[in-house]
């Protein structure tokens, strides 16, 4: 295997599009800076709601295949070359929203054996040997079963990899500080009449919003705002972008954040972090 760069970052997401919305600017920045960025996506999002009328014929496996192509296009926009599907394409199906019959499908990710899925991810960790991993919180950001399961799998995989010889030095959860979200929605209300969206979402619709004091790390990705927006546009079945805002299939406008925020939940950080690799000696020496 070719020797990897000194800085190595792993991100774990549930469906295609989650990576661009949550971490697009972060991924683009670290890729541009020469870090090895690995994205592991757990499902193909076969049960997602499709926005463009001309694509609404896509369902099930056909939608999954289309969203896989969208994911590849998004990663090209972000400059990320290492994108993987957990266990291989189609190994785990989209579980749908919480509380619907799809959650009971034995092939869906929500029903996956935790250790088996985590072992697949641990194998990636042992191959890439990342110093930093990014995942969702224990509610998956907003309660979607696939996001919750992605959190469980990511945290268990870090444990398994450590048992097998590689310790991820820092683990972060995706976050948005409440003050930032509230200020962004105030601006959105002022600008909504000029947008192609009739209504606004609310702060409660944004995954991972927490009180400001829980934020440990802010990654300024403003230089990569165009790359993030382009990556989000690549997910055309799921996202309608009108910079600096976007809407999902609910047609509710929400802010497109280019500074992305994190909570360090494992490992040792430094006060006021602006770098996910802060405090990691081997990465800082590169």
Q: How much is the pLDDT for 283?
A: 62
Domains and CATH numbers, the chain: 8-262 (3.40.50.10320)
| Closest among 1, 10, 5, 52 to 239, alpha carbons compared | 52
Q: How much is the pLDDT for 1?
A: 53
Residue 204: pLDDT over 80? yes
> pLDDT (tens digit, 9 = 90+) per residue, 139-191?
999 999 999 999 999 999 999 999 999 999 999 999 999 999 999 999 999 99
Residue 96: pLDDT over 50? yes
Q: How much is the pLDDT for 212?
A: 98
Please state, in angstroms and rounded to a whole number, the distance separating the CA atoms of residues 55 and 52.
Answer: 5
> pLDDT (tens digit, 9 = 90+) per residue, 22-40?
999 999 999 999 999 999 9
- Residues in Cβ contact with 180 at an 8 Å cutoff, skipping those fewer than 6 apart: 212, 257, 259, 261
Please state, in angstroms and rounded to a whole number, the distance separating the CA atoms of residues 17 and 72.
Answer: 10
What predicted TM-score, i.e. pTM, was given to this entire model?
0.96
Do the annotations mark residue 57 as ligand-binding?
no
List, in sequence order, every residue forming a beta bridge with 132; answer none if it has no partner. 9, 170
Query: pLDDT tier at 51 (50, 70, 90 boundaries)?
Result: very high
| Closest among 248, 187, 232, 185 to 74, alpha carbons compared | 232
Query: pLDDT tier at 286 (50, 70, 90 boundaries)?
Result: very low
Which helix H or strand E contains 137, and what residues bound it?
none
Do the annotations mark residue 66 as ligand-binding?
no
Scan for tokens 């996910």, then name that residue.
276
Do the annotations mark residue 15 as ligand-binding?
yes
Residue 222: pLDDT over 80? yes
- In this prediction, residues 106-126 reach a mean pLDDT of 98
Query: pLDDT tier at 115 (50, 70, 90 boundaries)?
Result: very high
């Amino acid at each position: 295997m070719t020797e990897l760069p000194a800085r190595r970052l792993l991100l774990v997401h549930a469906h295609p599009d989650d990576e661009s919305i949550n971490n697009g600017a972060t991924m683009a920045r670290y890729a541009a800076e020469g870090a090895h960025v690995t994205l592991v996506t757990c499902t193909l999002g076969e049960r997602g709601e499709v926005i463009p009328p001309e694509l609404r014929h896509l369902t099930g496996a056909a939608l999954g295949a289309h969203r896989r192509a969208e994911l590849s296009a998004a990663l090209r926009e972000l400059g990320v070359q290492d994108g993987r599907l957990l266990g291989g394409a189609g190994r785990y199906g989209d579980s749908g929203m919480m509380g619907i019959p799809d959650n009971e499908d034995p092939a869906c990710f929500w029903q996956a054996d935790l250790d088996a899925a985590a072992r697949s991810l641990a194998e990636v960790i042992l191959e890439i040997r990342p110093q930093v991993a990014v995942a969702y919180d224990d509610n998956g950001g907003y309660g979607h079963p696939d996001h919750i399961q992605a959190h469980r799998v990511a945290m268990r995989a870090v444990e398994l990899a450590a048992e097998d010889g590689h310790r991820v030095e820092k683990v972060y959860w995706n976050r948005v500080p409440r003050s930032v979200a509230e200020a962004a929605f105030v601006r959105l209300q002022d600008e909504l009449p000029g947008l192609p969206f009739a209504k606004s979402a609310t702060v409660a619709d944004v995954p991972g919003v927490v009180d400001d004091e829980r934020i440990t790390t802010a990654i300024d990705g403003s230089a990569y705002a165009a790359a993030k927006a382009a990556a989000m546009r690549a997910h055309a079945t799921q996202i309608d972008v009108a910079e600096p805002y976007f809407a999902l299939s609910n047609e509710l406008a929400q802010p497109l954040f280019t500074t992305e925020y994190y909570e360090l939940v494992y490992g040792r950080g430094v006060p006021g972090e602006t770098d996910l690799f802060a405090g990691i000696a081997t990465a800082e020496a590169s």
